[in-house]
Amino acid sequence: MILQCFQDDLNTILHQGYRDYKSELQEYTQEKYGCVPTYIVVRERGPDHEKVFEVELAIRRQFQGLGAGKSKKEAEQDAARKVLAALRTTELLTDSSGDPLTCPENGLNVQPQ
């Protein structure tokens, strides 16, 4: 039973090697923009034993990518991986109007009150 809970993670580590894309992206956004990404589960589909989660990744409330996986964690890693791959080609995140992304001075993804 316990092994089944971690089987997907173990397969990833053993067969593909493991990279923590969420941590990489968090470090990048903290250094470059002074804030961290947020992840929101936007959809769950399939039966409970084969559920697929879809997660939106946002930086400063601006949608940057979508990921999917058999767990919320896997979906978040997928979204972070895709955003990191996009960053390797553009090196600049933009908001919905196409302007360069900047984060609030408080370092959070929330506007000060």
Residues 41-82: pLDDT tens digits? 999 999 999 999 999 999 888 899 999 999 999 999 999 999
Angle between helices 21-33 and 72-90 in degrees, nearest 10: 50
pLDDT, residue 9, reads 67
Taking the whole predicted model, whether its pTM rises above 0.75 is answered as no
Report the length, in residues, of the chain.
113
CATH no., domain 18-90: 3.30.160.20
| Res. 87 pLDDT band, cuts 50 70 90 | confident
The span from the CA of 87 to the CA of 89, in Å, is 5
| Res. 106 pLDDT band, cuts 50 70 90 | very low
Residue type, 26: Q
The span from the CA of 1 to the CA of 37, in Å, is 33
pLDDT, residue 110, reads 37
| Res. 107 pLDDT band, cuts 50 70 90 | very low
Over the stretch 20-50, which tens digit does the pLDDT of each residue have?
A: 999 999 999 998 888 999 999 999 999 999 9
- Burial label for 1, CB within 10 Å (0-12, 13-18, 19+), is exposed
| Phi-psi label, residue 46: left if phi above 0, alpha if psi -120 to 50, beta otherwise | left
| Res. 15 pLDDT band, cuts 50 70 90 | low
From the list 59, 67, 63, 70, the residue with the least C-alpha distance to 21 is: 67
